[in-house]
Amino acid sequence: MLTISTIKENCFASSYSKGRELFLEKKYKDVEISGGQDEDGEPFQMIQGQVKGHSSHWYTTEVYMDEDDDIKDYYCTCPAYAAYYGMCKHCVALALEYRDMERENKGSVYPVNSWEKDTSAVLNTLMDRFSHQGKGYIFDQYHEQIRFEPEFSWTYSGSLSVEFKIGYKKMYVVKNIASVLYALDTVSNFAYGKNLSFIHDRTVFTQEALEWLDIVRDILRVNHHMDTFENYAQPYYNNTLRSIDLGSYGIQRCMDVFLGKEMEISGKVYRVIDKDPPLELYIRNDQDMGATVSMEPVKGFLGSRWAYVVLGDYIYQCSEGFRENVKPLMEGMMAFQTGRTYQVRPLYLSRKDYRAFAKHMLPALEDYVHVAVENIDFESCLSQIQMRVFLTMADDALWRIELKAQVETQGKIYDFFGDKGMDVRDPGEEFELEQIIRRYFVCGPDKVWHCQDETSVLGLIQEGISRMQQLAQVYVDDKIRGITLRSSPKITVGVRLKSGLLELDIHSDLMAPDEIAQVLSAYKKKKKYFRLKNGDILQLDEEHFGFLSELSEGLMLDKKALSQEQISVPAFRASFINETIRNNPGDTAVHRDSHFRKMVREMREYSDSDFDVPDNVCANLRKYQEDGFRWLCTLSAYGLGGVLADDMGLGKTLQMLAFIAYKKVKTLIVCPASLVYNWESEAGRFTPDLRVMAVSGTASVREKIFSQARDADLVITSYDLLKREVEEYEKLTFDCIVVDEAQYIKNPGTLAARSVKAIPAPFRFALTGTPIENRLSDLWSIFDFIMPGYLYSYQKFRKEMEHPIVSGGDEKVMGRLKAMVSPFILRRRKQDVLKDLPDKLEKTVYIKMTEAQEQVYRAMASRLAMELSASSDQDFNSDQIRFLAELTRLRQICCAPDLCLDGYTGGSGKMDACLELIDNAIAGGHRLLVFSQFTQMLEKLIDVYKDRGEYLYLSGKSTKEQRRHMVDQFQRGDIPVFFISLKAGGTGLNLTGADVVIHYDPWWNVAAQDQATDRTHRIGQKNVVTVMKLVAKGTIEEKIIRLQEEKAKLAKDIIEGGQVQEHRVSREELLELLKE
């Protein structure tokens, strides 16, 4: 009997107490008990029913017990079942009901054997078959004596059909071939007459009979698609399946059996032989104007592989050559006759085609038939035509070669393209020569055939002329003969670091610098060849010019720069140049001086540098944090900036403070207003020797701070205050500027971005966990701050990099950009560096909306889809804001319709599920963060939850002091649930006291959600963190989740490689989102 202790072992205590309440209040219905066997054959019993959940929801619930009344498994459609381990309260209620029913029945509530069923019909049939198989001789005297013989007939269409007879001494006509095969498959008894009835086991048939049974089975399978014969074995198929048309497949199977043997068809006996038939082809002169071509008619038919000709007492299996060369000719004159007999229609050969016929077709036919030619001299036709081609290079064009072609026949000369009145023609050779000419030449408006692009000219010289010479006499002028094709010259590149600049020298043994620039320009335009000043033609191959092209593209060197003897570029290009050299597959010689090699080596091997964390930093940095500190020091040693892009929670603040303490430079920190006090607190904790000044308060307070800021080592301010008082900051002198949460400057046109870029400083660094949130311009703006000009102007960056990558998926440009930025972006992920950080379990919980909620959603979604379908792209662009606002209303309906619909009273499935998840989590001893983009939604949740327990609520209205107080209060463990606005609390908070995160509504930008999640999944977290995304089933929210997955790839495009997808919502994309 099921016990209480067994039930408790399978659930949390809170789930048991709540489930017991449901059981006592009888909040379940439609309870049924059934039984069965699992996949291992073990019996089980199942109780299933509907159990009432939060609000008006009923959940389908099942609990499975084995024969010892131990709980084997359970299932429920409620959100808690998907989110937590163990039985939910609904499963507990049903298990208690099962126990109660057992007690009333004094034992099992369901008979152990009640689920036993009859053996399946198919299995019974197979068992019967196996019981008879191989024992035909036991039931009758026909062991290996039953014959099954074919009888062939010509069909009306000239093909073959077959019937069969079966028997021992007396043969019986098989009325239905399928019935024989079905009886054989099922090893069953079948009667053909009073004296012939037997069990159709394979042992009763002769070997020849078995072969024919297998053949006819294959024919029915291939020609008639019969894989089983039970249905076709019925009597009403007797007339249909008494005789079967063999078709090409069946003919081939049968003719293979009779090859070299005699075969009777429609009462006549033939011998089948593997040989071409002795046929004669007659070619007769027709009044000297042409000739007739004819043959005597023969009967023929086709198998799937061979053609067959019936002649006298023989059936000839024709060769493949006969089938390909002679049969089409015979069919053309109606001499290959498969059905009724027709009169042969001779074919006509024009005199002007004698040469082509005699040269190409006649020799092939003579291999298979005897050819009788009457009064025609084909030999004299073979020498009657000569084609000539004349090639000249024009004086007035660099690449222009002109062509003239002639045909001489019977002493007359004709224009190859213009005159079609020749008496003798060779269409095959003429067509082949014309195809070669058209490959390299075009006919201009002046009717002159010419080629003038370098690819055509060089292709003509390399192989075109020799191909023409196989068909015609080719005459070439001296200018063309004098063309020399040169392989690519050796190129040498020198790189050295001097006075903070990189100097490049590019030399060639064949070309001057200005000609190198012209050659590269041609290569970039996908040209295959280039004509040098001396007239030689240079082959532009990837091996020799790919490296130089990639280098000039990455450095954005124009023709003017490449034409110089020496090229100077900023030192920050060193890593890109070195990476391009390392990936160079060609044989370009590259010389790097010792200073350049030292710089590159130190930037690459920064973790082994001699920079040590100062003793006055009051923290034990982890190994990866020390590496980050040394990376910052290495970059600054060469006057370079960088982006510290570690995952949220890995201690970017500590690494930067250690760097500032080491460099002892006056530093300005610019961060979101919510992080100003956090920076001040962290600086006081880790670098107490630094004089820190946090800019905040009223205008008069800030004025006093500015007056004292000159003596500070570290000045901390917010983006908002900086852009309001940028002139005050410009008056101060800073050695280093650090922007935290650098995505705040991702839009270069904003006042925040322009303000931080306006403050001069030798060193600039950016901190962000998401260097690319939406598009590549995010990355450009950050680099424009740390190293202005490194990614060029935005117009050039967009044209040369962003557009080719985003719109064209250009992997080469993607690789170039990655090579350029990767040395200046340091990104470590938690799973790579924090092996001791607990797991993060992410779940998407799909929730069904209430009936009223779904009706409202479908109505609004349909209306919006109709409006979008009826609008043009121009209408959409002009009214895009309204459409996007409607999209937001749809998302609000998924959350709770009364967010946007006054008077709505139909409830919210998601809100009910969320509150239930919160209750279950708290009951299980968990502490939660609940995020939503909509503050109104959070307030609705709070309005219901406030009567159940204590909570905290952070929104954009919360002051910095309130934020700090609430964080401390939550971290102490005083309050179990923290409702947080995604925008207000997604960054700058340390909330490791929570181990459950609920994202109430999915947002387009997955990076924003990840940042919010990392408020708790960071250093200091000791528990597994469960992250639940609540998604209304069958709505736009599901599509948003898919978009999140696509956009999550964006940051990896440059930092970790991949394909860029730029997300700008179009009319078509909105329609796709609204599809059900």
The one-letter code for the residue type at 996 is V
The torsion of the CA quartet 411, 416, 421, 427, rounded to 10 degrees, works out to 100
Element (H, E) at 210: helix 207-224
Bridge-partner residues for 693, per DSSP? Answer: 715
In this prediction, residues 161-189 reach a mean pLDDT of 92
Residue 378: how many other CB atoms lie within 10 Å: 15
How far is 1014 from 986, CA to CA, in rounded Å? Answer: 9
Answer whether 310's CB lies under 8 Å from 263's CB: no
Identify the pLDDT of residue 836. 72
Identify the pLDDT of residue 135. 45
The answer, yes or no, to whether residue 793 has pLDDT greater than 50, is yes
How far is 599 from 606, CA to CA, in rounded Å? Answer: 10
Answer whether 65's CB lies under 8 Å from 45's CB: yes
How far is 1004 from 1047, CA to CA, in rounded Å? Answer: 8
Q: How many alpha carbons lie under 13 Å from residue 235 in its C-beta half-sphere?
A: 3
The answer, yes or no, to whether residue 1020 has pLDDT greater than 50, is yes
In this prediction, residues 347-353 reach a mean pLDDT of 87
Residue 852: how many other CB atoms lie within 10 Å: 15
For residue 732, what are its two tokens?
């101060």
Residue 39 binned pLDDT confidence (cut-offs 50, 70, 90)? low
DSSP 606: G
Answer whether 483's CB lies under 8 Å from 461's CB: yes
Query: Left (φ > 0), alpha (ψ -120 to 50) or beta: where does 499 sit?
Result: left
Identify the pLDDT of residue 115. 42
Residue 1000 binned pLDDT confidence (cut-offs 50, 70, 90)? very high
For residue 1023, what are its two tokens?
């528990």
For residue 996, what are its two tokens?
């459950």
Range name among 218-232, 255-269, 515-529, 803-817 with the lowest pLDDT average: 515-529
Identify the pLDDT of residue 112. 40
Angle (deg, nearest 10), helices 594-604 and 623-637:
150
Number of H helices, E strands in the chain: 45, 46
DSSP 612: -
Identify the pLDDT of residue 126. 55
% the chain with pLDDT above 70: 90
For 871, the 3-state DSSP assignment is coil
Answer whether 372's CB lies under 8 Å from 293's CB: no
Range name among 237-246, 247-256, 536-545 with the lowest pLDDT average: 536-545
The answer, yes or no, to whether residue 738 has pLDDT greater than 90, is yes
User: Can you say how many angstroms the Cα of residue 591 is from the centroid of all Cα atoms in its chain?
Assistant: 42
24: closest CA among 84, 93, 102? 93
Identify the pLDDT of residue 535. 66
How far is 1028 from 994, CA to CA, in rounded Å? Answer: 13
Transcribe 401-465 into DSSP letters: EEEEEEEEETTEEEETTT----SS--HHHHHHHHHHHHHH-EE-TTS-EEE-SHHHHHHIIIIIH
Bridge-partner residues for 736, per DSSP? Answer: 667, 763
Range name among 39-43, 277-281, 931-935, 941-945 with the lowest pLDDT average: 39-43
- Count of residues making up the chain: 1076
CATH (residue range 840-1074): 3.40.50.300
Which of 546 and 431 is assigned the larger pLDDT? Answer: 431
Q: List Cβ neighbours of 346 (8 Å cut-off, separation of 6 or more).
A: 292, 293, 294, 333
**Neighbour-count burial for 126-160, b at 16+ CB within 10 Å, e otherwise:** eeeeeebeeebeeebebeeebbbebbbebeeebbb
Let me know the angle formed at the C-alpha of 477 by 472 and 479, rounded to the nearest 5 degrees.
Answer: 140
Task: Give the sign of the dihedral formed by CA 576, CA 577, CA 583, CA 585.
Answer: positive
**1031-1043 per-position pLDDT tens digit:** 888 888 887 777 6
166: closest CA among 136, 146, 183? 146
Identify the pLDDT of residue 137. 40
Q: List Cβ neighbours of 811 (8 Å cut-off, separation of 6 or more).
A: none
Q: List Cβ neighbours of 322 (8 Å cut-off, separation of 6 or more).
A: 276, 307, 368
Q: What residue ranges do the domains of the chain occupy?
A: 4-105, 121-258, 269-380, 384-481, 485-603, 606-833, 840-1074
Residue 553 binned pLDDT confidence (cut-offs 50, 70, 90)? confident
Answer whether 775's CB lies under 8 Å from 1062's CB: yes
678: closest CA among 656, 705, 708? 656
How far is 656 from 731, CA to CA, in rounded Å? Answer: 24
pTM for the model stands at: 0.50
Task: Give the sign of the dihedral formed by CA 985, CA 987, CA 988, CA 993.
Answer: positive
How far is 555 from 125, CA to CA, in rounded Å? Answer: 79
How far is 2 from 74, CA to CA, in rounded Å? Answer: 14
Answer whether 19's CB lies under 8 Å from 91's CB: yes
* Cα Rg, the chain, nearest whole Å: 44
In this prediction, residues 309-324 reach a mean pLDDT of 95
φ and ψ at residue 819, rounded to 5 degrees: -65, -30
How far is 169 from 146, CA to CA, in rounded Å? Answer: 9
Q: List Cβ neighbours of 752 (8 Å cut-off, separation of 6 or more).
A: 719, 720, 722, 723, 744, 745
Residue 29 binned pLDDT confidence (cut-offs 50, 70, 90)? very high
Range name among 408-422, 462-476, 810-824 with the lowest pLDDT average: 408-422
For 595, the 3-state DSSP assignment is helix
For residue 423, what are its two tokens?
């008496």
The answer, yes or no, to whether residue 1063 has pLDDT greater than 50, is no
CATH (residue range 606-833): 3.40.50.10810
Element (H, E) at 567: strand 567-570
Are 606-833 and 840-1074 equal in CATH topology? yes
Let me know the angle formed at the C-alpha of 767 by 761 and 769, rounded to the nearest 5 degrees.
Answer: 160
- Give CA separation, 398 vs 437, 509, 537, 1065, in Å: 20, 24, 11, 50
Residue indicated by tokens 């606005």 = 981
For residue 298, what are its two tokens?
């023969």
How far is 585 from 602, CA to CA, in rounded Å? Answer: 25
In this prediction, residues 301-320 reach a mean pLDDT of 95
Beta 385-393 vs 501-508: how paired, if at all? unpaired
How far is 210 from 752, CA to CA, in rounded Å? Answer: 89
The answer, yes or no, to whether residue 1064 has pLDDT greater than 60, is no
pLDDT, the chain, mean = 84
How far is 728 from 704, CA to CA, in rounded Å? Answer: 12
Q: How far apart are the first and last CA of the chain?
A: 48
For residue 949, what are its two tokens?
């327990």
Identify the pLDDT of residue 140. 47
In this prediction, residues 61-68 reach a mean pLDDT of 87
The one-letter code for the residue type at 671 is C
The answer, yes or no, to whether residue 986 has pLDDT greater than 70, is no
How far is 685 from 675, CA to CA, in rounded Å? Answer: 15
Identify the pLDDT of residue 491. 80
Q: How many alpha carbons lie under 13 Å from residue 342 in its C-beta half-sphere?
A: 17
DSSP 17: H
746: closest CA among 717, 768, 723? 768
Element (H, E) at 669: strand 667-671
The one-letter code for the residue type at 960 is K
The answer, yes or no, to whether residue 136 has pLDDT greater than 50, is no
Identify the pLDDT of residue 134. 47
Residue 113 binned pLDDT confidence (cut-offs 50, 70, 90)? very low
Identify the pLDDT of residue 101. 87
Beta 401-409 vs 412-415: how paired, if at all? antiparallel
Beta 736-740 vs 763-767: how paired, if at all? parallel
152: closest CA among 222, 233, 239, 216? 216
660: closest CA among 599, 616, 718? 616
In this prediction, residues 613-641 reach a mean pLDDT of 93
Which of 220 and 489 is assigned the larger pLDDT? Answer: 220
Residue indicated by tokens 């929670």 = 649
The answer, yes or no, to whether residue 111 has pLDDT greater than 70, is no
Answer whether 636's CB lies under 8 Å from 644's CB: no
Residue 444: how many other CB atoms lie within 10 Å: 11
In this prediction, residues 184-201 reach a mean pLDDT of 87
DSSP 646: P
